A and B are shown apart, each in its own frame.
Chain A
Amino acid sequence: MKYLVLICALFLCIACEEDRSVDPTIMPEETTTGENTFGCLMDRWVYVSGRWGTPITTYSKQEGNTYNMTISAEVDLKSYITFTILNPKQGQIVDYTDASFDTQSLEDGKVHITRMSNGIISGTFEGTRMTKGRFDLKYRE
């Protein structure tokens, strides 16, 4: 019984893991060093990752030797901003699509890729509801 309580307590601790050192109201700096940061304004309100885990990047090969990068960032407890960058290349402004915030679909927008090398993708993005966005993430090909 004692071990069962301990296991349950441990499970609860893991399940509720939250990095309380992160202030979710302050936008991260625009960096290009793989800091695993993500932030944007959604309807003018600040949404930042980090407190509820680092953003997830998924790099996938498409037809015609092109690649897409999907970014999913938990910006509140069980609340995600997700979008897919089409064929990202360093120094270019490309489209993002399939954007969503929780269960809401968002319009497509533009991403300026400021770095894409050595497993780091950084950039700024701008859409209709989602503005002043920035990310600096690590990824695996």
Chain B
Amino acid sequence: MKNKHYCLLFGLMIHAVSIFAQDTSIGKYLLSFHAGPSQYMGKFMGITDYSNQYREDLRNGIAWNVNYYYLTNKHIFNSWKFAPGFMYEGSRYENSHSDGSDKIQIHFVSPQLALFMVKEKYTLSLSTGLGYQFYKDKSSVYDTPRKVSMNKIAYNLSAAAEYLFSSQWGVSGKVNWIMSNSDSYSVRYHGQTWKVESPESSDGGGDFSHISLLIGLNYHF
């Protein structure tokens, strides 16, 4: 099913390439949309099954990403443009077992500081930001609902490359790595909420992150 979506997205991009003219002077603002596979790394906390196989399967997810940048005229290191902006990335990881399931949804929002190298036919960019990550696990145990939340400060590093096929549109590939850390979570179950600190089920807290390999469209205006 995921592969079908990627094929559809790729097809749309190829179609778009044929439509737009070959103008390469880009605008000051950039809006981009990306989607692709994501990999959860590091420690899981608050999930319903800690077996190795279950955790490994739960690491594979999907992500989607929206960026907005303002490309200033201020240059750094000669050819790099300084660009403040904003990023939202959502991701989802799911797995189930005989006694329960986990549906992790992570939403990351952050202001960004980026550097853009703008050439005639392509741009390269690096960005980073410190933001906030909303983590929810809509899980179930023995067919009863259980909700875990672990909202934390997080930061990201990302690198992207874009091929411009017009003055306004480009296709781009992006790698985004979002990192966070937690030693507690809260779980809501059967009308009660508990805070679980340094959970023994996951040998305490620790670092966790997710890295996404995304493709999408950039719109310059």
**Chain A contact residues, CB within 8 Å of chain B:** 20-27, 41, 44-46, 51, 76, 132
Q: B199 touching A44 by the CB < 8 A rule?
A: no
Q: A46 touching B200 by the CB < 8 A rule?
A: no
Closest B residue by C-beta to A51? B194
**What residues of chain B lie closer than 8 Å to A22, measured between beta carbons?**
196, 199-200
The number of residues on chain B lying at the interface, defined by a beta carbon within 8 Å of a beta carbon of chain A, is 21
**What residues of chain A lie closer than 8 Å to B190, measured between beta carbons?**
45-46
**What residues of chain B lie closer than 8 Å to A26, measured between beta carbons?**
48, 141, 201
Q: Complex Cα distance A44/B100, Å?
A: 13
Decide: A20 near B195, CB < 8 A? Known: A25-B189, A26-B201, A46-B189.
yes
**Chain B contact residues, CB within 8 Å of chain A:** 46, 48, 99, 141-144, 146, 187, 189-190, 192, 194-201, 204
**What residues of chain B lie closer than 8 Å to A41, measured between beta carbons?**
142
**What residues of chain B lie closer than 8 Å to A132, measured between beta carbons?**
142
Instruction: Give 25 CB contacts A-B under 8 Å.
Output: A20-B195, A20-B197, A20-B198, A21-B196, A21-B197, A21-B199, A21-B200, A22-B196, A23-B46, A23-B194, A23-B199, A23-B201, A24-B189, A25-B141, A26-B141, A26-B201, A27-B99, A27-B141, A44-B142, A44-B143, A44-B144, A45-B190, A46-B144, A51-B194, A76-B192
